[in-house]
Amino acid sequence: MPVKRLTRSTAPRPGVGIVHLGLGAFYRAFGACYVAEAMAHSGGDWGIIGVSLQSPAIRDALRPQNWAYSSVTLSSAGQEVAVIEVLEDVLVAPENPAAVLAAMAQPGVRIVSLTVTEKGYCHNPATGALNVDHPDIAHDLAHPLPQSAIGFLVRALALRHAAGVAPFTVMTCDNLPENGPLVRGLVLNFAARVDPALAGWIAEHARFPATMVDRITPATTQGDIARLEAVTGHHDAAPVLHEPFRQWVIEDDFVGDARPDFAAVGVQMVQDVTAFEHMKLRMLNGTHSALAYLGYLSGHETIADTVANPGFNTFVRQLWAEIMPAVATPTGVDLAQYAAALRARYENPAIRHRTWQIAMDGSQKLPQRILGTLAENIAAGRASPGLILAVAAWMRYVGGVDEQGRTIEVKDPMAARLRAVSDAATTPAEKVVALLAVAEIFPLALAVQLRAPVTQAAERLWAQGAQRAVDAEIQ
Residues making contact with ligand CS2 (CB under 6 A): 175, 214-216, 284-285, 288, 357-358
CB of 284 to ligand CS2, least distance (A): 6
- Name the DSSP class of 54: S
Nearer to ligand CS2, 169 or 302 (CB): 302
Residue 60 contacts residue 69 (beta carbons within 8 Å):
no
d(CA 240, CA 225): 9
Cβ neighbours around 309 below 10 Å, total: 17
Residue 22's SS3 state is coil
Nearer to ligand CS2, 291 or 447 (CB): 291
Q: Beta strand pairing status for 4-5 and 247-251?
A: unpaired
CB of 101 to ligand CS2, least distance (A): 29
CB of 71 to ligand CS2, least distance (A): 15
Nearer to ligand CS2, 171 or 216 (CB): 216
- The candidate with the shortest Cα–Cα distance to 40, out of 68, 67, 73, 14, is 14
Q: Beta strand pairing status for 47-52 and 16-21?
A: parallel
Nearer to ligand CS2, 63 or 411 (CB): 411
Give me the residue whose beta carbon is nearest to ligand CS2.
288
CB of 242 to ligand CS2, least distance (A): 9
Residue 26 contacts residue 215 (beta carbons within 8 Å):
yes
CB of 198 to ligand CS2, least distance (A): 33
CB of 410 to ligand CS2, least distance (A): 14
Nearer to ligand CS2, 52 or 285 (CB): 285
Nearer to ligand CS2, 134 or 354 (CB): 354
Residue 469 contacts residue 389 (beta carbons within 8 Å):
yes
What order do you get walking across the sheet with 169-172 strand by strand? 87-92, 47-52, 16-21, 111-114, 169-172
CB of 240 to ligand CS2, least distance (A): 13
Residue 466's SS3 state is helix
DSSP β-bridge partners for residue 111? 18, 169
- Name the DSSP class of 284: I
Nearer to ligand CS2, 150 or 284 (CB): 284
Beta strand spans in 25-122 (E)? 47-52, 69-75, 78-84, 87-92, 111-114
Nearer to ligand CS2, 232 or 247 (CB): 247
* Cβ within 8 Å of residue 361, ≥6 positions away: 117, 118, 119, 411, 412, 413
CB of 396 to ligand CS2, least distance (A): 18
